[in-house]
Structure 1
Amino acid sequence: MTDKLTLPKAGGALYEYVAGTKASILAPQGAFTGRIAFSAAHVVCDPFAGTDPLNQPSIDWESTLSYRRHLWSMGLSVAEAMDTAQRGMGLNWIQAQELIKRSIDEAKAVGGKVASGAGTDHLAPGPNVTLEDVEAAYEEQCGYVEGCGGQIILMASRALAACAKTPDDYERVYGRILRQTKQPVILHWLGDMFDPALAGYWGSSDFNEAMETCLRVIRANADKVDGIKISLLDADKEIQMRRLLPEGVVMYTGDDFNYPELIRGDEQGYSHALLGIFDAIAPVAASALQALDRGDLAQYDALFEPTIALSRHIFQKPTYAYKTGIVFMAYLNGHQNHFRMIAGAEGSRSIVHLSELFVLADQAGLLQRPELAVERMKRVLALAGIE
């Protein structure tokens, strides 16, 4: 079925677009085995809570967990309570604890795989914060995740970035925490394009110096590191680091611009995935990874290629606003019945941005029910004065 609607361009011009001309990619059945693929998952707010959405947001737990079941049904793993879930940008540590506990319990019930973010976001950076404070904050959150029976994704710390004076400070803090964990963790190197407060992480603004510090941490604690996710949006840097990882430690790409080539790999290796964009493109991602298992590289490329423009659009600057596009995709595809976000983040992108997102999603076969997507897009357009 196709349907027509009127969309805006920058500057106010309007044009007609016919949706549904490309067949939708249906969610595949079964699993894939050649790669580990985590989708960082979004949260659904409760629009009827009656609380302050900026300071006291409420979560719609059934819709939030239902989306995780959707991801697990396609063989994807869930990266819980990460930046895609608006961690540190609307979702606080108290809410994250409940999210982590519920998600781990749900994963156990359905046989899904989940790893959860542990950081220091309940510790506000400030001039009086010490390394001991950072270590205590990490210990609290890591203890909570493992106490729930979960695997840790050790998130980058704003407080550590603010108080660390040298690379040695990072080695000290990470070494102390890793020595205490019960099972190997996934490290998370998040670039400042995602969070400006993390500029100069690992003690240097120079990539090679920062990478060497991170590698020293990994080599000194290799038995406690499952892998590392880097989100620097630079394929060459990821490949460079991937080739230097010690045996047994894997790379999880967090590159939402270049993921197809990084997951596919080269003669010297490949990256697994821990990606926010997989929340939005889950059916295509799972289908492409199944094609990779079959050795059907042509199909792998054909499935992923149209999603690259969509992902680069969703993650365009300011990159941290990408969550708006992720949730908008879930709304268009009927996974939630509203386009409201915690902290009012639905207003972080323009109607022009959302309109282009709609077109790119349609062209990638990612609108599961085009007629529903058109109906919902028209509602959003009407709110912007486009009838």
Structure 2
Amino acid sequence: MSRTAAAIRSADEHSAHNYHPLPIVVASAEGAWMTDVEGRRYLDMLAGYSALNFGHGNRRLIDAARAQLERVTLTSRAFHHDRFADFCTELAALCGKDMVLPMNTGAEAVETAVKTARKWGYEVKGVPDGHAKIVVAADNFHGRTTTIVSFSTDHDARDHFGPYTPGFEIVPYGDLTALAHAVTENTVAVLLEPIQGEAGVLVPPAGYLAGVRELTRERNVLFMADEIQSGLGRTGKTFACEHEEVVPDVYILGKALGGGVVPVSAVVADRDVLGVFRPGEHGSTFGGNPLACAVALEVIAMLRSGEYQQRATELGDHLHRELNLLVGGGAVTAVRGRGLWAGVDIDPARGTGREISEKLMELGVLVKDTHGSTIRIAPPLVISKEDLDWGLDQLRSVLAG
């Protein structure tokens, strides 16, 4: 039995089957490339769902982590540590906000945002206690905790995990009229992904985010943007909301904030929103730990240069030009996305997204399927144009077969 087969068999026997990974066992990685236990190299065109925007083993991030590992890694929030204030100050400045509430995972950040909106609604807006409503979009993906799956329309994520948490209204994504009808005097927030990643990299109609911003401001409702996948350079801007010159009330961040080194997430907002929390009302032992802050501070410094946003714009334009040439050729029915992020719909007659992903894996390219016949392409922002073109050549080869 090969090392790959043995590792997969052991994983299948001893881990819960909550994922269906491609049959590859990664042993090492650098930049945009991963190497399996057999020594074969693969081009990573997924980047950990945007957690690896800066590539595998980015030297600046590894050096920042190593230096902090030698000093202190955890204090809990029972004490201050010497990286915390800088992290909060720099992240708040990057977002143009006053305050940061750090957590670990994206789902934790969304849960934190939900609590924030409700508490703000009761203590600032004056919604009667227990009556707060949050409007969300169909086909959303904000995580898989009990509360979050309560407003999911994905049956795999939601079914048989009830009873569900009340307080959410679901409207079609991109439909301003439906959103306006759903907002009532008890609505405390609208929670949206500026681009829906898990749904297939769905970009909303032009003007939608600006319309949401105007509506929420008029109705005294918080606009909470889940930029966990779309933020921190992926779309060619620091935040995807910037493509419509929109600034939400609340940024929800994660994934790339930890540079693919440690889990880091945060809710970022002004003082009149996050200032509603008092000691003991919310927290996390590991949230804002010294190691996480050290890595995230380096991520923020890297983003301030604008280099990664520019790479995502230039290489993203190239990616979308090449992918759009495939539409109408009998294999690809649609391409969506922005920056170095694309959803590619495959004609079901040519295979499922899983089948296409497996064929690409055999040629040394790693992508991931979603929603049947869609594959997602989101390489690290450090990928070279030559490597990107090579990966696209393998896609053309699979689709021509």
Calculate the TM-score normalised by the size of structure 1.
Answer: 0.32
Calculate the TM-score normalised by the size of structure 2.
Answer: 0.32
Larger relative helix fraction: 1
